[in-house]
Amino acid sequence: MPSVGTPVIRRIVAVARSGEPESALLASVGLSADPGAAPWQGEAVDADAYYDLIERLAWPDDPELPFRYGASIRADDLGALGLAMKTAPTAGDALHRLVRYVLVLSDTLEYEFTDRASGRLFALNGRPHHRPGSAMANECALAAVVSMLRAAVGDDLAPGSVSFRHERPADDRPHREYFRCEVRFGSDVDGLVFDSGQLERPTLLADEGLSAYLLSQLDELRSQAVDRSLVTTVRGVIADSLADGQPSKSQVARRLGMSERTLHRRLADEGESFQTLVTRARQDAAESLLRSGRHSLVDVAFLTGFSDQTAFTRAFKRWTGLTPSEFRDRATAGPA
C-alpha cells in the first residue's frame, strides 16, 4: 500500500509538541529511534499510519506543526534527492527534479507543473484531502518544498500564491506568515504558483558534476521504487477487489488517492497497462485457487471477478491453453 519515507516521519516527530518521547512516537509507527546510515532509502511507513500520526500530534490543537516541519527540513534529510535539488542550476530545475524523483521518498503523491494565467503551478497530486491527517500532510509537503527552495536560492523566495483543497481553518495566520503570499482554501488543487522570475533564480550551490552523479543514483532508485511500489500496489488493490467484480481503473485510482489520468500515465511510464495488470492478477488468483483444490469452479469464477463460469472458462483457456478443470486435475494429481 502507499507509504511515506522515514525522513518525513522522523522530522515531524522531532518538531512535535505532544509531550510524548520521540522514541515512543516512532515506535507507534514501527520505527526505531536510530535512523540508521541511510534513513531516506528503503524504510517507509504506511500512509494511513502517517496520517494517523499527524492527527495524533497536531489535530486540532497544533495547526503550526506543518510549518515547523517545513522550516526544519534540510536537503541532507532527503539524501540524494535533497542534494540533487540543492545543486540544480535554478529553482525551476530543482522543482523539476522533485517532480521526477519524489517517488524515491514517498509513493503517496506526485508533483507536476502546469500553466496557469497567474504563472506556473507546481501541483501536488495523488493524496486525499478529506481527512485532517492527509490535509495536514499536504500542508507539510508544500511547506517543505518552499523551505527547500529558500535554502537553495535565498530566504526571500515566496510563491505568488498557495492553494489547498481542504477548507480554511479557523486561523490561517500561520499559513500566511509561512508562505508570505495569498493562501486560498477550498481550491481545486493543492499547489504553489510561481512566476518565471522566481523559477529562473540561480541556486547558491549549483554543481553540474555532482548533479550528474546524484541524478544517476536517483534514476536507479526511482526505477526500483516504481517496481516496488506502484505496479505491486496496483496489482494488490486489484486482487483485493476481484471478489466484488473486475475493478475499473477509476476505482483503483480512487483507492490509491490519485486521478485515473495520473494512474494511466505512471503505469505507461513503466511500460505497463492497467488491463495487463488486471489480467495477471486474475490469472494468478485463479491458478492459486485451483491448485488449492478447495473451491468449486463456480466459486473460483466468482472470486476472480467473473460474472459466470462460462466466461471464466473461456478466459482461463485463453491464458493457459487449458480449461480450469484440466489445470486443477494436473495441479492436484501429484507425481505419477
User: CATH number for the domain including 301?
Assistant: 1.10.10.60
Same domain flag for 271 and 324: yes
Which grid cell sits at 237? Answer: 488493490
| Four-CA torsion 11, 14, 19, 24, nearest 10 degrees | 80
Helix (H, G, I), strand (E, B) or coil at 45: strand
pLDDT digits (tens, 9 = 90+) for 107-145: 777 899 999 888 999 999 867 777 788 889 999 999 999
Mean pLDDT of 11-33: 90
- Residue-level pLDDT at 202: 97
- Residue-level pLDDT at 40: 45
Closest to 168 (Cα-Cα) out of 146, 190, 183, 149: 183
Same domain flag for 52 and 184: yes
Same domain flag for 166 and 198: yes
Q: Which run of H or of E encompasses 264?
A: helix 260-269
Enter the pTM of the model: 0.69
Same domain flag for 150 and 229: no
Q: How many domains does the chain have?
A: 2
DSSP secondary structure, 111-174, as one string: EEEEEETTEEEEEEES---SSHHHHHHHHHHHHHHHHHHHHHH-TT---SEEE-SSPPPS--HH
Q: Which run of H or of E encompasses 182?
A: strand 182-184
Considering 201, 218, 235, which residue would you say is the last residue of a domain? 218
16 pLDDT higher than 60 = yes
Considering 218, 240, 256, which residue would you say is the last residue of a domain? 218
Cα separation, 110 vs 123, whole angstroms? 8
Cα separation, 77 vs 79, whole angstroms? 6
Share of the chain above pLDDT 70, in %: 93
Q: What is the average pLDDT score of the chain?
A: 87
Cα separation, 47 vs 326, whole angstroms? 42
| Four-CA torsion 186, 190, 192, 196, nearest 10 degrees | -100
Considering 174, 197, 218, which residue would you say is the last residue of a domain? 218
Domain that holds residue 286: 219-333
Helix (H, G, I), strand (E, B) or coil at 191: strand
Pairing of the two strands 110-116 and 44-46: unpaired
Q: What is each CA distance from 298 to 286, 294, 314, in whole angstroms?
A: 11, 12, 13
